[in-house]
């Protein structure tokens, strides 16, 4: 009885931890994508300016 309860609690805790890890992974991936997008935009603008200066 007690063992079954402990097992169920542990399973729920494990599930919660997995969900949290997945959410954190999604957040990190989203941040990385945003950072890459911003970096790409900055690089593009810089290239445009450099080309204009060279010309």
Q: Give the pLDDT means over successive 10-residue stretches in the chain (55 positions).
A: 92 97 95 94 93 87
> What is the signed CA dihedral for 44, 48, 49, 55, rounded to 10 degrees?
150
What is residue 27's predicted lDDT score, i.e. its pLDDT?
93
The answer to whether the Cα torsion of 44, 47, 53, 55 is positive or negative is negative
What is residue 55's predicted lDDT score, i.e. its pLDDT?
80
What is residue 14's predicted lDDT score, i.e. its pLDDT?
96
């Amino acid at each position: 009885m007690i063992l079954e309860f402990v097992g169920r609690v542990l399973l729920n805790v494990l599930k919660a931890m997995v969900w949290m890890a997945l959410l954190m992974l999604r957040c990190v991936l989203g941040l990385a994508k945003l950072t890459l997008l911003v970096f790409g935009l900055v690089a593009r603008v810089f290239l445009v300016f450099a080309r204009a200066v060279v010309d």
